Structure 1
Amino acid sequence: MFGKKFFEVTDKEKLVKLINVVNEIGPVEEYNLAKWETMVVKGSNARTQYFFKYNVKRGTKTEESFTLEKNKEGDIKIVGYHVNQDLLNE
């Protein structure tokens, strides 16, 4: 699910903390895809990258974004995960 690149900048302990904080906000009640992008790079360092941003309704609103990358073997892994909590709409 999570790729090596993800753990180059975020250790497993930090990921567990993030997941625990997200779980404290509450379960997902509703979500909508707000934005998506695809980037294809050709050449010696070829890769395909996907970006998804979701508006998520939990106990409060959050904006959650995922960056995924396809590796040389064709596997798609998460290389970025960010959560922004909307503190103004609590």
Structure 2
Amino acid sequence: MKNKFYAALYLLCLFFTLTGCNFNSAYLNREEDKKDAEKVADQFYALVEKNDLKNLSPLLSDQFKATTSTQKLNDYLTGAVNKLGEIKNKKLDHWETKVIRGSNPSAKYVLYYVVERAKFQAKETVTLTAENDQIKVLGYNVNSEGLFK
């Protein structure tokens, strides 16, 4: 009788231990993750260059949309073009990725570009995240001396 009690107690403890565990694998700065993020960033830049905000919306994360209205985004992009000029070319300067797969999946990608514009050079950062198994733009930042002139 005692053995059955201890066996049941052991199995119960094992069950609670296993259900409380999270099994995750973290990947830092993998080339394949960078390539996946670059595909989305390239689509983003192509639409920004065309000033196609209507088709830009599906690339934006829910968090981006919650904090930035379409009008604010349009003003930001238009202001960058007015002060810095059209994008002539862009080059990926460096990047960071962190992808977690498993019980609690998440992903964050940060791409740093040096962008040659018609009037000034800019350093631009595109931050992306995984949302419903798709990579979406979480943030976009433009830094340039031309913004202060």
Q: Which runs of 5+ in 2 are unaligned?
A: 1-58
SS in 2 for 1:29: strand
Which protein has the larger Cα radius of gyration, Structure 1 or Structure 2? Answer: 2
Q: Does 1:85 align with 2:139?
A: no
- Output the amino acid matched with 2:89: E
Kept after mapping to 2: 8 A contact 1:55/1:62:
yes
* Percent of residue pairs bearing the same amino acid type: 30
Are the counterparts in 2 of residues 63 and 86 from structure 1 also a CA contact under 8 Å?
no
1:62-83: per-residue Cα shift (whole Å, max 9, x none)?
11110111123x1111011001
- The structure with more helix, counted as a fraction of residues: 2
Q: Is the 8 A contact 2:61 2:131 kept in 1?
A: no
Count of residue pairs brought into register by the alignment:
87
Structure 1 segments, 4+ long, off by >6 Å, are none
Structure 2 length-normalised TM = 0.52
CA contact (8 A) 2:94 2:111 kept: yes
Is 1:4 aligned with 2:62? yes
1:71 aligns to 2:131 (yes or no): yes
2:90 corresponds in structure 1 to 31
8 Å contact from structure 1 (residues 6, 79) kept in 2: yes
1:31-78 CA deviation, whole Å, 9 max, x = no partner? 211110101245654211111010111110111110111123x11110
Structure 1, gaps ≥5 residues long: none
